[in-house]
Structure 1
Amino acid sequence: MIKISQVDWPAWISNIALIVVFREVSVWLMKQLGHPELGNLVGLISLLICLVIWRVVKKSLPERIMSTNSVVMKQSAFAFLPICAGALLTLANMGHEIPIFLTILLISTLGPLWVYAKISKRYL
């Protein structure tokens, strides 16, 4: 268990602010372009591009940011529990359309995740 006095607050605040700022700017920009549903994806991709550029220029990311980001990613998995419950309820009501839905879900989820993982592994 981490004590409150051991937490690197400036790193936490800067990491969360970085994520929130990229997301909010991207959502605003995509609303201006008429596609607000793409805001989160554009934010993720733009943050990845900025981190790749930083890594190329500076040769490494700050260790403080990397360690807090690791904790944020581990803890954010719990945010998907309500989404999973909603998806389960949707699947229960779909009936004979389930195979088509699952095929589309599998392709549209695993494809981008695989590409993102390859890019992250190579450049970060």
Structure 2
Amino acid sequence: MDLFKNIDWLAWICTIALIIFFREASVWIMGLFHHPELGNLTGLLSLLIVLVIWRRFKKIPPRLVDTNNKLMKESGFAFLPICAGSLLMLVSMGKEIPLFLVVMFVSTLIPLWVYAKMAKKWL
């Protein structure tokens, strides 16, 4: 039980609530424009913009930064079921696999790389 004593619960709850709020608000706003599928991306970008503006005037609390680092490091396991599902889909695609891989590359790796560069530079 000593494991749970060292966790900053308030920072975890605030960080997760912040992420959920920005995501849900963005999905709702994009839903008004009939494109709720863009909610995740606009939520991510709006949270980044708010944090960049916040950092310009004040320092981002270290508790938030530490919790975010732990959350990002540990959340890699969440993608394992998605990878397994993608592998099953690849098997059934046949000759459409190259196009699928190009779309996956462009739509995931490049935006994540750009976001990481922006976050590293401005946060």
Q: Do these two structures clear the TM 0.5 threshold for a shared fold by scoring above it?
A: yes
Uncovered stretches (5+) of structure 1, i.e. residues with no partner:
none
Deviations 1:67-115 (A, max 9, x none): 1111111121111111101100110001111112112221222221222
In the TM superposition, 1:27-66 aligns within 5 A as 27-58=27-58, 60-66=59-65
Q: Does 1:17 align with 2:17?
A: yes
Counterparts in 2 of 1:2 and 1:71: CA distance versus 1, 3 Å: farther
**What TM-score results when the alignment is normalised by the length of structure 2?**
0.93
Separation (CA, whole Å) in 2 of partners of 1:116 and 1:2: 36
Separation (CA, whole Å) in 2 of partners of 1:70 and 1:114: 16
Q: Percent identity?
A: 60
Shift of 1:2: 6.2
Q: Does 1:92 align with 2:99?
A: no
Shift of 1:122: 1.3
Provide the residue aligned with 1:109 in structure 2: 108
Q: 1:7 corresponds to which letter in structure 2?
A: I
Partner SS state of residue 39, structure 2: helix
**What TM-score results when the alignment is normalised by the length of structure 1?**
0.92
Separation (CA, whole Å) in 2 of partners of 1:36 and 1:53: 25
Task: Give the count of matched residue pairs.
Answer: 123
